[in-house]
A and B are shown apart, each in its own frame.
Chain A
Amino acid sequence: AQRVTQPEKLLSVFKGAPVELKCNYSYSGSPELFWYVQYSRQRLQLLLRHISRESIKGFTADLNKGETSFHLKKPFAQEEDSAMYYCALEGSGNTGKLIFGQGTTLQVKP
């Protein structure tokens, strides 16, 4: 079964501290993985996808197929990073059918 698990509902850190938002997936095949973000009073939007290997707003995510993980990391959290973060998986075949995790709220305290 295709599944995405985000074990933490809430992650609270102080400004300047490192951040790691965890994401584990279950999928037999080569998944495409993404992180979506929703800032307060804004729409859900794509943050990054694993295949592009980009760093967006200082965030990076590495796909670890052995551990079936795709954790989102940032070395120094900023207050403006406070948001809801969703990990999502797309099955093979360029379907556009996204399977989302339950989301993690990141709270960055001053």
Chain B
Amino acid sequence: DAGVTQSPTHLIKTRGQQVTLRCSPKSGHDTVSWYQQALGQGPQFIFQYYEEEERQRGNFPDRFSGHQFPNYSSELNVNALLLGDSALYLCASSPSTGGFYEQYFGPGTRLTVT
């Protein structure tokens, strides 16, 4: 099991563009959470997907949206990119049985907005 995988590893976008980041959860996990980690900061919760629906949402604007597929993989979409969206985006998966707290993190996608 490769654990949580994310793609791409890094990418560069221009202000105003749109971006899609992808995440495959650890085998046996059905819940995916997304975090944004700015340089020098701790991860900030964006939202969580379970049973193909957004279950929890952090304090992020509607420009941030997501999706979960039947195979539990997930996408994070960000529209109208701002310079401040430059960050490491982390995906974490967890099993719904036994609690959502133990989250397994992926390596992250480094997004740079110029």
Question: Which residues of A line the B interface, CB within 8 A?
Answer: 4, 6, 32, 34, 43-46, 49, 86, 88, 90, 94-103
Contacts and interface: CB of A to CB of B under 8 A. Distances in A.
B31 A96 contact: yes
Contacts of B103: 46, 96, 98
A43 B107 contact: yes
A45 B58 CA distance: 21
Contact of B33 (A43, A49, A96, A101): A96
Contacts, number: 61
Nearest to B105: A44
A95 B103 CA distance: 12
A95 B100 contact: yes
Given A96-B56, A97-B58, A32 B40 contact: no
- Chain A contact residues: over half helix, strand or loop, or mixed? strand
Interface in B55-114: 56, 58, 90, 92, 94, 99-107
Contact of B99 (A94, A98, A99): A94
Interface residues of B, number: 26
Interface of B: 3-4, 31, 33, 35, 40-45, 48, 56, 58, 90, 92, 94, 99-107
A34, A49, A96 pick with most chain B CB within 10 angstroms = A96
A44 B100 CA distance: 16
B56 A45 contact: no
Contacts of A88: 42
Given A43-B107, A97-B45, A97-B56, A102 B40 contact: yes
Contacts of B101: 32, 34, 49, 90, 94, 96, 98
